[in-house]
Structure 1
């Protein structure tokens, strides 16, 4: 559960820094057009911080980390989000500065989105294995409300 908490904290900080960077860079060069830089903030706050805060609750209720798929999910999802946000930040910065981005950066962003999708599929695999686990695997279920068992 600590990994989920610290993941949420790190993505909170990165999201806030991303928003500050977007605001200050566009203000410094007096840029007013659309840019991918504007969505870095929301990607990190929603797909990062908010997502991991929700996962803390799911971990508490269902013990997701007891699934064999959980480490795979965590690594894949983190890699996808970091690649996606990083590529968006670079593409957005280049747009604001009037530089071309090229297909390679779009490909990195696309790869990040693919990894996020695979990570989400792994999360649903974790959730399925924990929701339908044998009763012996859920020894701590007595502490949960009956409606959640």
Structure 2
């Protein structure tokens, strides 16, 4: 549970800082166009903070961390989020500085982060399956 709490706290801090960075960086460069920096804030808060708050509640209810693949879910998902957001940040900074918004390498790297996110989601649902179905299969006491 502490691990999930720390993840929620980290993603909240990163989400808030990324929003501040977006605002100040674009203002400092007199940039008014579209940039990936605009969505790093929401990616961190939604995929990080909100998602792990939900996982925290599910952990309290089902003890998901007892599942064999839980560690794989936790680390794969976190690497996927951080990798994706790091690539988005790099692409956004390049855009604000007047470079081509997407270099081939950065786009492919961002895609790799999204693949890790997908794998993390799949493993999460695998971890969730047994505890959820086990509760439904218990007979009701009369």
User: What is the TM-score when the length of structure 1 is the normalising length?
Assistant: 0.87
Cα RMSD for the two superposed structures? 1.7
2:115 maps to what in 1? 114
CA distance in 2, matches of 1:108, 1:81: 12
Gapped regions of structure 2 (runs ≥ 5): none
**Number of aligned positions between the proteins:** 137
1:19 maps to what in 2? 19
CA distance in 2, matches of 1:124, 1:28: 43
User: What is the TM-score when the length of structure 2 is the normalising length?
Assistant: 0.92
CA distance in 2, matches of 1:58, 1:72: 17
1:97-128 Cα deviation digits (max 9, x unpaired): 01124110011111111100100000000000
1:47 maps to what in 2? 47
How far does residue 133 in structure 1 lie from its aligned partner after superposition? 4.1
2:59 maps to what in 1? 59
Q: 1:1-149 maps to which residues of 2 (within 5 A)?
A: 1-100=1-100, 101-133=102-134
Give the ranges of 4+ consecutive aligned residues of structure 1 lying more than 4 Å apart after TM superposition.
Answer: none
How far does residue 2 in structure 1 lie from its aligned partner after superposition? 0.5
Gapped regions of structure 1 (runs ≥ 5): 135-140
Aligned-partner SS, 2:32: coil
How far does residue 132 in structure 1 lie from its aligned partner after superposition? 3.0
